[in-house]
């Protein structure tokens, strides 16, 4: 889609920002799985940090998340103007889903349930890699279904 004037309102973002964040997330989650072979505790700590990143993205949106800030300050100025944008709400929901999996994995690792931690991390990694490599945001695809379940204000 071409960039509409509504991008100035803050309701849409350059698609390259979330994809950049997905690449960073993919790297972090890969490190978690590698570290988990040696220490559940260290894996839990690293995944806990990623859970905080997900929580910030869910709460404040992609522009104010840590990876979004890095993209905006260091990467975006070196790129041409955006040609594609996407809405913020589905991205925030996707970050919330990532947070849930990362939180489950963090707790599991820290309680010594490494297998559960690995599975939760694997789900988050799968979703992040889909977005990074193929531009397919799994959480964004689920968002419209969940949005229909919310009660409508009177």
Rg of the chain, C-alpha, whole Å: 16
- If you ran DSSP here, which 8-state letter would residue 80 be given? P
Mean pLDDT calculated for residue range 118-140: 96
| d(C-alpha 123, C-alpha 117), whole Å | 10
Side-chain half-sphere of 112: how many Cα atoms within 13 Å?
Answer: 0
Of 1-10, 39-48, 66-75, 76-85, the range with the lowest mean pLDDT is 1-10
Residue 83 has pLDDT above 50, yes or no: yes
Q: Which residues pair with 12 in a beta bridge?
A: 87
Q: Residue 20 is encoded by which pair of tokens? A: 């950049």
Q: Does 151 score more than 80 pLDDT?
A: no
pLDDT attached to residue 147: 87
Average confidence (pLDDT) over 94-113: 98
Tokens 């509504």 identify what position?
Answer: 6
Handedness of CA 83, 84, 88, 94 (dihedral sign): negative
Token readout for 47 is 């995944």
What is the residue extent of each domain of the chain?
13-149
Q: By C-alpha distance, which of 55, 151, 141 is closest to 90?
A: 141
| pLDDT score recorded for residue 1 | 42
| Residue 8: pLDDT over 90 | no
Place 10 in a pLDDT band, splitting at 50, 70 and 90.
Answer: low
Place of tokens 């799985």: 33
Q: What is the DSSP string of 88-122?
A: HHHHHHHHHHHHHHHHHHHHHHHTT-HHHHHHHHH
Q: What does the mean pLDDT of the chain come to?
A: 92
Q: What is the pLDDT of residue 123?
A: 98
pTM over 0.85: yes
pLDDT of residue 99: 98
Give the rounded distance of the alpha carbon of 75 from its chain centre: 18
């Amino acid at each position: 889609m071409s960039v509409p004037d509504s991008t100035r309102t803050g309701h849409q973002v350059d698609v390259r920002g979330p994809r950049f964040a997905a690449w960073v997330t993919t790297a972090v989650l890969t490190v978690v799985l590698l570290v988990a072979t040696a220490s559940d505790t260290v894996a839990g700590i690293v995944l806990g940090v990623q859970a905080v990143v997900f929580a910030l993205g869910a709460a404040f949106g992609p522009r104010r998340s840590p990876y979004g800030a890095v993209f905006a300050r260091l990467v975006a100025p070196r790129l041409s103007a955006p040609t594609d944008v996407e809405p913020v709400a589905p991205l925030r929901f996707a970050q919330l889903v990532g947070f849930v999996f990362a939180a489950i994995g963090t707790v599991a690792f820290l309680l010594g349930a490494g297998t559960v931690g690995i599975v939760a991390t694997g789900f988050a990694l799968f979703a992040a890699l889909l977005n990074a490599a193929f531009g397919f945001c799994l959480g964004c695809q689920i968002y419209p279904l969940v949005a229909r379940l919310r009660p409508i204000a009177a």
